[in-house]
Every structure is written in structure tokens, then in C-alpha cells.
Amino acid sequence: MLKKLGKGYRAVVIGATGGIGGAFLDLLQADPACGEAIALSRSTDPAIELEDEASIAAAAEQIGGGGPVHLIIDPSGILHDAAMQPEKTIDAIDPKVVARSFAISATGPVSLLKHFHQLLPRSGRSVFATLSARVGSIDDNRLGGWYGYRASKAALNMFVRTAAIEIARKRPDAVCLALHPGTVETALSKPFSQNRRTFTPREAAERLLCVIDNAEATASGAFLAYHGSRIPW
């Protein structure tokens, strides 16, 4: 399935108990070239919590003991739950909700980058991919609303772009990507998927793995859609 990582590559899926995360894990475990596919979530051992940097550091240290990691996939993010909904107007902005959006959708992933990039090999292909969203594109914003989610994903894009520049200095073959999966049939997207083309989690994961496999080192730091095209910042 993933041809460019070589035989026996190690992969880590963070948030592996979620819809897309679980689909990524299933596909990687079924890939004959994958030597090990490691699942991380709040319920795994080691457990990982995006709002707890200590748990991220501990998980990275434990996994790193098994050798280099060639593929790290982070499909984390939050749009809504029982305590928060995307804002339709500026009057609906709650700073606490915005801070939570950033903690899970931006600060959490960059903390993953901070600790897990050290597990990537110094030479040879490796990939760190995190799920962004087209609504995080400033240039593509035509409808407004969803202030916290949009801003957190725009911040995530900047984190990925900035980290890619630094990581390339020591790991020139590493690729860091922010990926837009489209509208996926998960709890995150379900309330907002009317009249939109949707993908099952498996379909989304298959398309994104294809994008990951086709991305060259020169694309590191890019913001890519599920069909491989670049999304404007």
C-alpha cells in the first residue's frame, strides 16, 4: 500500500480509536510492508492525551525505545461536543471555547510534532501527517462563521509549515503534511454533512494514504486535499 517507506516500516496512529484513526490503523496493519502499526489514544498503553504534554512526551519516549518511526499520523481535532458548538456569528464567540479548540486542534498536534519528530530517522523517507481542514484556509473562507475551528486549523497549518522548515535541516528526507480529508462520515462531521459529498472513514483513510505515499520531500510543509492538490493558505 505504502510503497515509498520501504519494507518493515514502523507507523504510529494517534487517536486510533476514532473513526478515521481506526481506519488508518486497519489499513496499515493490513499492509504487508508495515512492520509495526502502533495505536495511541486515551485508552492505550501508553495512553496519550493531547491536552497533557507530559503524556505525549512519555509515549514518544516509550515508542522510541523500539527504534525509528517512519510514519506518524495524527487525525485529531474537535469541532463540537456536548459542551461546545461551532460559532455561527461573532457574538457567539466564547474565549474558553476558542482556547479549547486551539488546545486540541493546534497546540496538541504541534506538541506531537515537538516530541515525535525526534523518532523519525535521520536519513531515508519518513512522514508526519496531521489532519487539518479546508475551512482552515484563510484565502478559501467565503462563508464565515466557525471562528474557533477555522482559526485553530489555520494555526495548525502554520505550525506544520514552520516545523517542516526546521525538521528538514536534520532530516532532509522527512515530509510534514497538513491534510484535508473531505467530509467524512464521523461524529465530528455528521451534523454538518447535508448536501455534501461524504466519504466513509475507510475511503478517507485510503485517499489520504495515497496522498502521503505520493508526496515528495519537496512538498514538506504543504497543505493538501484528499486528491493531492494544494489548498491555498
Q: What is the pLDDT along the chain (233 residues), one digit of tens a residue?
A: 799 999 999 999 999 998 999 999 999 999 999 999 999 999 999 999 999 999 999 999 999 999 999 999 999 887 877 778 889 999 999 999 999 999 999 999 999 999 999 999 999 999 999 999 999 999 999 999 999 999 999 999 999 999 999 999 999 999 999 999 998 887 665 566 566 778 899 999 999 999 999 999 999 999 999 999 999 99
Specify if 26 maps to a domain. yes
As given in the structure block, the three cell numbers for residue 80 are 463540537
Q: Which domain holds residue 143?
A: 9-225
The pTM of the full predicted model, rounded to 2 decimals, is: 0.93
Q: How far apart are CA 122 and CA 142, in angstroms?
A: 41
- Does a structural domain hold residue 232? no
Quickly tell me which residue has 493531492 as its cell.
Answer: 228
Please state the domain count of the chain.
Answer: 1
The answer to whether the CB of 112 falls within 8 A of the CB of 57 is no
- Do the domain assignments include residue 120? yes
Q: What is the CATH number of the domain that holds 139?
A: 3.40.50.720
The DSSP string of 25-39 is HHHHHT-TTEEEEEE
Per the listing, cell 528538514 goes with 168
The answer to whether position 4 is within a domain reads no
In a domain, 230, yes or no: no
Contacts for 165 with CB less than 8 Å, ≥ 6 apart: 221
41 — phi, psi (to 5°)?
A: -165, -175
Instruction: Flag whether 233 is in a domain.
Output: no
Buried b (16+ CB within 10 A) or exposed e, 167-182: bbeebebbbbbbbbbb
Is 1 domain-assigned?
A: no
2 in any annotated domain: no
